[in-house]
Amino acid sequence: MAGRTVRVQGFPAELPPDRAADKLTIHFLRSRNGGGDIADVRVLPGSPPCALITFEAPEVAQRILKVKNHVLAIGRTRYPLEVTLHSAELSPDEVLRG
């Protein structure tokens, strides 16, 4: 999974996890957003919530990371998304902080 997973933050916390996963899947499938085939989407609770999106191919994740402004539109509201590469292994520090 290394290199195929991105971490996404910036979507509204009040959005139910299944609906957030649907919205993010649609956004990151679109080729105009640099997207492509998705293997898995996991929405993690927290404040702020984040999602881990794993693509079928590492080159899709790399394209996603090169797009500077990802904006998720829900109704008339636009949410700027922060997209970073997700490291496959969590360090003990990250596990303890989570």
Residue 98 has pLDDT above 50, yes or no: no
36 within 8 A of 63, measured Cβ to Cβ? yes
The model's pLDDT over 43-57, given as tens digits with 9 standing for 90+, comes to 998 888 999 999 999
pTM, full prediction: 0.85
**Cα-Cα end-to-end distance for the chain:** 21
Please state which of the four CATH numbers 3.30.70, 2.30.30, 3.30.310, 1.10.287 is assigned to the domain occupying 11-78: 3.30.70
The C-alpha atoms of residue 22 and residue 16 are separated, in whole angstroms, by 10
Residue-level pLDDT at 2: 61
